[in-house]
Structure 1
Amino acid sequence: MIYNVKIRFIIALQVLAFPAALSQSLLDQSAFFAGGTADAQKIFQAYAGPWASMYGHSLNNGWVNTAKTHKPFGFDLTITNTVAIAPRSEKTFDIAELGLNQLGKSNGSTTVAQTTVGNNNKKNDRPSLDLLSPYGTYSNVLSMPKGSGFPATILPAIQIGMGLMKETEISIRYSPPINYGRYGTINHWGIAMKHNLRQYLPAARLLPFDISVMAAISQLNNKTDVTNDPQQYLFDPGITFDKTDRSIKMGVTAWNTILSASTSLPFFNIIGSIGYSGIMARMKATGTYPIPSGETDASGNMLLIHRENMVNDPMN
């Protein structure tokens, strides 16, 4: 038996770690959860949302470059590299529009914050937030991080496609976990099925083109350890917690269906397609985190942390 084998290589760039790094820069703020889990989730979604959206689009791209399917057991091996670029509107967000409950803008501070794909600007140009509580106002509890200055995501992967029976093809895409040290790990995978519809058309063998339908689902995972100790928190004696067990887990699930048609000409091919896609992102914070009530010591400089202020798995 003669197998249809095709190997294609596309220049692949290393997965950029800046989304994880910038997420870590936000988590490095000792008072990330100072306003409670609801405020923390609103801020993190606004800050990291463009990252999730762009990676979702990258996961959905690159599945189809021809409507033709492989013959049974024919396959191709591809090193793919997909790129997504953020629009200008996703580079910043307004803190005042988030509806925060326990955090408010510090006096003299701007309300415009950078997202993960925003500008790499100076600290003085970024919002500073106060903690608002029944005990009063604790100033400058959280400074928003800067952006990356790079409004794009680059996502390489190894992809293999193999022909099955009835002009059906399966494709699998995979990138192993890459460890970026204190910035965590990133990995992703995907699977797609493509079926050629030309076989159902009259005189199919005489047609100079193929028509196929494809469905794919992909998953990207990022895990970042959170081992920093809040510097402005004063813990009650006897409070202990395992800092090595804390982590932020972010996941992006993407799915799409594509109807495509491509020519079968000797020297060049033309492909056209139409499809539907979706993206879902989620975040979990596991481990034990201090969430202050706003009570301070006699000097007013340190936020007191009692045992009841220690919260397990605040986002799960």
Structure 2
Amino acid sequence: MKFKVTILCCVFAFAKAEFSKSQSNDLGNVLTDLLLISDRYVQPAAEASVMQSSAGWYQSASSLDKYKITVALHANALVFPSGKKNFDINNDELLNLTIRGDESTTIPTTLGGEQRTFFDFTIDGDLYEFQAFEGIDTGFLAYPFLQVGVGLWQETELLLRYSPNIKIDKSDYAIYGIGVKHNLSQYLFKGERPVELAFLTSYSLFDLNLSFNPYELRSDDNSPPLAVIDGSLVDAHAVLFQLIGSKDYNDWTFSSGVAYNRSWIDYELSGDDGIFLQTLNDVLSILSETQHSYKVDLGATYHFNNWDLSSQLSAGDFINLNIGGIYHLN
């Protein structure tokens, strides 16, 4: 991958008339190093967003009756393992950047905190510095969301999800989604059904905006900065395919599911609109490569009057707990 990225970086660099030939080679190596760091920086947030956006889509494999509607308020809570909050890097992995004062270091991911780690690099003989990005600096990610279910034909249910912007310090995130659940037991059993089975698919968008104190990539105090960076924008897309099973017992429904996720991210740094940051964001489009993940769910729902109270535990790259209250409108 490094060879591919280096060639791409150099192509971008040669396309910019403002850079000389020697600058192009240096710039290509710098951008390759920044891509490596950015990939490790953003990956845990992408994994966490997939886990959170795929949770809580169902409480049962049964579908609502036609034109029946439910409105639900859910809350997700996901704890960050310590191994997802930081990552290690050493000088042997880098082409141009060098870690200031050491051969290796540990720096934050998007899920980590603030750490003043600096890298030095050169472009056409000029020395520049780069500070490691900050994370959201919290031990867990929790958010409420609204979900509406509508019963359709042939034991099919349409699901819509919305979460408003949630603030963490200077950062914020939101989730949007749409899903469809279709009951399979209608094809497998005639008469009484010993168990309910269903297939669910959904699309979710996790929109994370990280803001941090602006810092400049410059060679000295008297020269103009190479770039000014003040945040990063992460749009994580996830498509879920899930097989669900459930069983009713008196006022309870017990459920379980296995799921496969296909996900990809759109990632860019925010700041000035100079040529260096523009070129870096062009290169960061490589991070949109499709990722694959799996998870399992275990859930229990209690029914009373027109209400359901549900809980669901999901396990995959992370552990996520979902709790919801569902109201049946009719």
Fold equivalence (TM over 0.5): yes
1:222 maps to 208
Per residue, is there more strand in 1 or in 2? Answer: 2
Question: Residues 178, 98 of structure 1: CA spacing in aligned structure 2 closer, same or farther, 3 A cutoff?
Answer: farther
1:267 maps to 251
Q: 3-state DSSP class of the match of 2:49?
A: helix
CA RMSD of aligned residues (A): 3.5
Query: Does structure 1 residue 157 correspond to structure 2 residue 145?
Result: yes
Separation of aligned partners in 2, 1:34 and 1:79? 48
The alpha-carbon deviation at position 172 of structure 1 amounts to 0.4
Amino acid at match of 2:139: P
Amino acid at match of 1:221: D
Question: Residues 310, 41 of structure 1: CA spacing in aligned structure 2 closer, same or farther, 3 A cutoff?
Answer: closer
1:69 maps to 63
The alpha-carbon deviation at position 51 of structure 1 amounts to 1.8
Question: Residues 144, 247 of structure 1: CA spacing in aligned structure 2 closer, same or farther, 3 A cutoff?
Answer: closer
Q: 3-state DSSP class of the match of 2:33?
A: helix
1:83 maps to 77
Question: Residues 196, 249 of structure 1: CA spacing in aligned structure 2 closer, same or farther, 3 A cutoff?
Answer: same
Question: Residues 186, 87 of structure 1: CA spacing in aligned structure 2 closer, same or farther, 3 A cutoff?
Answer: closer
- Are the counterparts in 2 of residues 83 and 152 from structure 1 also a CA contact under 8 Å? yes
Query: Does structure 1 residue 206 correspond to structure 2 residue 172?
Result: no
The alpha-carbon deviation at position 115 of structure 1 amounts to 2.2
Instruction: Specify which of 91, 99, 102 is matched with residue 96 of structure 2.
Output: 102
Question: Residues 229, 209 of structure 1: CA spacing in aligned structure 2 closer, same or farther, 3 A cutoff?
Answer: closer
Amino acid at match of 1:157: F
Question: Residues 220, 147 of structure 1: CA spacing in aligned structure 2 closer, same or farther, 3 A cutoff?
Answer: closer
1:187 maps to 174
The alpha-carbon deviation at position 191 of structure 1 amounts to 0.7
Task: Tell me the matched-pair count.
Answer: 253
1:175 maps to 163
2:297 maps to none
Q: Deviations over 1:296-316 (max 9, x none)?
A: xxxxxxxxxxxxx65535313
- Are the counterparts in 2 of residues 35 and 131 from structure 1 also a CA contact under 8 Å? no
2:121 maps to 131
Unmatched 5+ stretches in structure 2 = 1-26, 283-330
Q: 3-state DSSP class of the match of 1:270?
A: strand
Q: 3-state DSSP class of the match of 1:117?
A: coil
Question: Residues 311, 282 of structure 1: CA spacing in aligned structure 2 closer, same or farther, 3 A cutoff?
Answer: closer
Separation of aligned partners in 2, 1:250 and 1:134? 32
Instruction: Specify which of 245, 268, 285 is matched with residue 284 of structure 1.
Output: 268
- Are the counterparts in 1 of residues 88 and 104 from structure 2 also a CA contact under 8 Å? no
Question: Residues 311, 97 of structure 1: CA spacing in aligned structure 2 closer, same or farther, 3 A cutoff?
Answer: closer
Question: Residues 94, 311 of structure 1: CA spacing in aligned structure 2 closer, same or farther, 3 A cutoff?
Answer: closer
Separation of aligned partners in 2, 1:311 and 1:188? 27
Q: 3-state DSSP class of the match of 1:51?
A: helix
Separation of aligned partners in 1, 2:197 and 2:207? 33
Q: Deviations over 1:243-289 (max 9, x none)?
A: 89x87431101121111111133232221222212322221246745
Query: Does structure 1 residue 314 correspond to structure 2 residue 280?
Result: yes
Separation of aligned partners in 2, 1:143 and 1:271? 47
Q: 3-state DSSP class of the match of 1:166?
A: coil
2:327 maps to none
Question: Residues 97, 115 of structure 1: CA spacing in aligned structure 2 closer, same or farther, 3 A cutoff?
Answer: farther
Amino acid at match of 2:132: M
Q: 3-state DSSP class of the match of 1:173?
A: strand
Amino acid at match of 1:212: A
The alpha-carbon deviation at position 177 of structure 1 amounts to 3.9
TM-score, normalising length from structure 2?
0.64
The alpha-carbon deviation at position 198 of structure 1 amounts to 1.5
- Are the counterparts in 2 of residues 288 and 313 from structure 1 also a CA contact under 8 Å? no
Separation of aligned partners in 2, 1:97 and 1:63? 44
The alpha-carbon deviation at position 227 of structure 1 amounts to 9.0
Question: Residues 136, 143 of structure 1: CA spacing in aligned structure 2 closer, same or farther, 3 A cutoff?
Answer: same
- Are the counterparts in 2 of residues 258 and 275 from structure 1 also a CA contact under 8 Å? yes
Question: Residues 279, 214 of structure 1: CA spacing in aligned structure 2 closer, same or farther, 3 A cutoff?
Answer: same
The alpha-carbon deviation at position 225 of structure 1 amounts to 6.9
Separation of aligned partners in 1, 2:211 and 2:84? 26
2:236 maps to 252
Question: Residues 229, 266 of structure 1: CA spacing in aligned structure 2 closer, same or farther, 3 A cutoff?
Answer: closer
